[in-house]
Amino acid sequence: MPEGQGGASPVTRNLKIASSYPVNVPVLGENIEYLTQRASEASMGTLKFRIFNPGELVGTLEILDAVSSGKVEMGYSAAGFWKGKLPAAPLFATVPFGPDATEYLAWLLAGDGMALYQEMYDRAGYEVKVLLCAMIPPETSGWFADPIHTPEDLKGLKMRFYGLGGNVMNKLGVAVSLIPGAEVYQDLEKGVINATEYSMPVIDEKLEIYKLVKYNYFPGWHQQATTFELLVHKKVWESLHPTQQLILEMACRDTIVQSLATSEARQADVMLRNRNERGVEIMDWSPEMLDTFRAAWEEVVEEEKSSDPFFAKVWDNFSAFREKYRIWGSRAYLPR
């Protein structure tokens, strides 16, 4: 019987967590601090955590491999970072023109989403247990040095972009790179990139993007809701006492609620500061530009489905859920 399981009382565990986000970043960094604090308190101190910022233990893009190999017990990240290794991974992080937070949670937690999420890692041989541990509402869809009126204005841009939305921008002539948040400002300043998306206004404010580029576009068609994962090395997960496993699961659910509530509450004040004090132009995509992004996205989906059978499996399940959900979702809510 693995240590700490069975009828015996839980033993104290000291667990290292490699984070994709510095703990001083609003919401994104706060999430993992909140989660670990709640889990530690609920376990009466039998779960103890040490959080490592990006690069302190491993780099952002190395977290999945580090947890799977046992180099670190846990990782806090987002599945979109693994796009190069696992083509379907971004579907569990955010979907262009996809669901809002409540619909996404419905598929993940009450549909087949989390089972498919774990299956993805298992099929690829990663020794990890995945827990959904946070979620945020829509992001902005980018910061630009000049207004974007037509698809032609995108061609030749060098832009930081996350997830499958990056494939869309590539189709429209943008040179896309996935730069960790800590490097966005310096790369904008040096001209390595000349446009970027990163996150919600309160998080982009921390990066001080507004100092370098002034046109901030909405809506975030590429990220209407974004999830974050807690990866646990499988043997570590199996060695935890059942009550410790349950506490981690419950702390993750608690953090989902906390991250959504705090995110929704904070954005307006930042947008007002940007507009009134910093000279930021808050822009809305025209219907024509949104149609352009959507058409490119539909091409990306077909390409990804044809090149990766597991992507097709996840997409078909996700789409079937959304089609049925639409019977309810299209009627139940007032228009915003």
- For 77-124, the pLDDT digits (tens) are 999 999 999 999 999 999 999 999 999 999 999 999 999 999 999 999
Domain contains 48: yes
CB-based contact 245:230 (threshold 8 Å): no
Give the SS3 label for residue 11.
coil
Strand extents, DSSP E, the chain: 13-19, 47-52, 74-77, 128-136, 142-144, 158-160, 175-177, 195-196, 215-218, 226-233, 281-284
Give strand pairing partners of 116: none
Residue 58 domain-assigned? Answer: yes
Sign of the Cα pseudo-torsion (259, 97, 167, 146, in order) = negative
Q: Is 237 within a domain? A: yes
pLDDT of 280 = 98
Q: What is the mean pLDDT of the chain?
A: 96
The answer to whether residue 177 is domain-embedded is: no
- Return d(Cα 177, Cα 79) in angstroms, integer: 16
**What would the pLDDT profile of 18-52 be if each residue is shown by its tens digit?**
999 999 999 999 999 999 999 999 999 999 999 99
**Inter-residue contact 94 to 101 (CB < 8 Å):** no
pLDDT of the residue at 6: 53
**Per-residue pLDDT tens over the stretch 206-218:** 999 999 999 999 9
What is d(CA 145, CA 255) in angstroms, rounded to the nearest whole number? Answer: 35
**pLDDT attached to residue 237:** 98
Q: Is residue 181 one of the residues assigned to a domain?
A: no
Cβ 201 vs Cβ 270: under 8 Å:
yes
Among 100, 76, 157, 92, which Cα is nearest to 124's?
Answer: 92
Residue 60 belongs to domain spanning = 13-137+224-265
Q: Which residues of the chain have pLDDT under 70?
A: 1-7
- Report the Cα–Cα distance between both ends of the chain, in Å, rounded: 54
**Structural domain count, the chain:** 1
Give one DSSP letter per residue of 130-173, joined into a string. EEEEEEE-PPP-EEESS---SGGGGTT-EEE--TTHHHHHHHTT
- CATH number of domain containing 42: 3.40.190.170
Tell me what pLDDT residue 203 has: 95
pLDDT on residue 3: 47
Within a domain: 257: yes
Let me know if residue 87 belongs to a domain: yes
Indicate whether 205 belongs to any domain: no
